Amino acid sequence: MNQQQYYRWWQREDLCYQQGHLYFAGKAVEGLATQCGTPAFIYSAPRVQDNLLRLRTSLNQAGFAKRFSLYYAMKANRFAPLLAMLKQSGLCGIDACSPAEIELAVSCGFAPAEISFTASSLSTRDLDVITRYDGLCMNCDSLHAIHQWGQRKPHTTIGLRVNPGMGIGRVDNDKLQYAGSQTTKFGIYWQQFAEALAVAAQYNLEVDTIHFHTGCGYLTEQLHRLERIIAHCFCFIEKVGTIKYVNIGGGLGVPHLPADAPLDLERWTMVLQRQFGATDLHLRIEPGDYIVKDAGLLLLEKTFVEKKRGDHLCRCRRGVQHCSGACLLHPPLSAPASSLQPRAMHNQDSGGQYK
């Protein structure tokens, strides 16, 4: 791949070079860097909304109109103005995973009923806070959580996060899968499922949702896994008998490398259609990365470039809290004339640790 192709794969109408200068959301990035200083995160609200609308349109066209709800997994980006914009857009609810996330989402305008809550390892103090929010969609992921919830909120409705023992992840990387042959903390296994239902019954909790989120970053090549996971999870749905909602989690990926194609949403909805088309189940989907990952840039100042062995290493001033695994090194504000080849920060073959 030559340098020109490398630069081309991630460019799109609202993120591209024009006359050698980088533009994002209609603005010259160089001007923004001057205005805000660096390091700085910049976000495009229209891109976030486009990402949500693309999902919504695909689901509507696939026959799921009024039979699905999107919950933005706010762990992907908790920037309050972004959350407030999402609330105003009316395009999604929120997937939260801690009491602090619920408090932030509510402070940005989301009602508890617009929040789906799924977390593991909840403390007594966490549960005391969470149970103050009436109407929240609570997904319990352990027998312990069902007991704790039941003691505080008997006669209410809950979801159960299950673990199908199968995962999905970018380039089938098992480090990105939350379920598989190894036992993980995420969700209730089939072996404990009957007991989980008995505990729920003990507190008169109605189970109306089956939830599973089994990995992240999947693209079109992994859709066959998604289909197998959903098909498998019907055993949980049927065992309960009264399930109204199925939450298939998030995990939808975006391209990270020149060879990646965007997730084919037509094929994604075909999987959902095959699995849920003939049912009257309501789908809940909680994407995080897919909504925001390609809608923001981190602007850094180059401090210096130095040759080490055969490679040129570019050093940047980026502050201490940036997770270097979370991004690709993209080209600077103006297209370089030099032959420097930007490179992913992590091992490209393994798919990287980009969370």
Ligand X SMILES: Cc1ncc(COP(=O)(O)O)c(C=O)c1O
User: What is the nearest approach in angstroms of ligand X to the Cβ of residue 221?
Assistant: 16
Among the listed residues 170, 259, 181, 161, the one whose alpha carbon sits nearest the alpha carbon of residue 215 = 170
Q: How far is the CB of 253 from ligand X (least distance, A)?
A: 7
Nearer Cβ to ligand X, position 260 or 286?
Answer: 286
Gap between the Cα atoms of 165 and 188, Å rounded: 10
For residue 271, give the 3-state DSSP assignment: helix
Rounded to the nearest whole angstrom, what is the least distance from the CB of residue 272 to ligand X in the complex?
A: 16
Q: Which residues pair with 160 in a beta bridge?
A: 140, 210
Q: Are 117 and 94 in contact (CB under 8 A)?
A: no
Rounded to an integer, what distance in angstroms lies between the CA atom of residue 181 and that of residue 325? Answer: 26
* 76 strand-pairing partners: none
Smallest separation, CB 252 to ligand X (Å): 6
For residues 163 and 189, the answer to whether their CB atoms sit within 8 Å is yes
Q: How far is the CB of 216 from ligand X (least distance, A)?
A: 3
Nearer to ligand X, 33 or 179 (CB): 179
Which residue ranges make up the site for ligand X (CB under 6 A)? Answer: 73, 75-76, 95, 118, 213, 216, 249-252, 286-290
Residue where the block lists tokens 């700085």: 40
Nearest CA-CA partner of 230 in 173, 157, 162, 159: 162
Question: Minimum distance from CB of 289 to ligand X (Å)?
Answer: 4
Q: What is the dihedral of CA 49, 51, 55, 61, to 10 degrees?
A: 80
- Please tell me the distance from the alpha carbon of residue 280 to that of residue 285, in angstroms, as a whole number: 16
- Two tokens, residue 315: 């050093």
Nearest alpha-carbon partner for 291 in 109, 5, 35, 55: 55
- Shorter beta-carbon distance to ligand X: residue 23 or 268: 268
| In contact, 147 and 199? CB cutoff 8 Å | yes
279/243 Cα distance (integer angstroms): 11
Return the number of the residue (64 or 218) whose C-beta is nearest ligand X. 218
Closer Cβ to ligand X, 58 or 334, answer by number: 58
User: CA 179, 116, 275, 294 torsion: positive or negative?
Assistant: negative
CB of 22 to ligand X, least distance (A): 26
CB of 287 to ligand X, least distance (A): 4
Residue 70 or 76 having the CB closest to ligand X: 76
Q: Are 162 and 139 spatial neighbours (Cβ–Cβ below 8 Å)?
A: no
Smaller CB separation from ligand X, 222 or 300:
222
Q: Which is nearer to ligand X, 32 or 48 (CB)?
A: 48
Tell the smallest beta-carbon distance from residue 345 to ligand X (Å).
19
Residue 22 vs 145, nearer CB to ligand X = 145
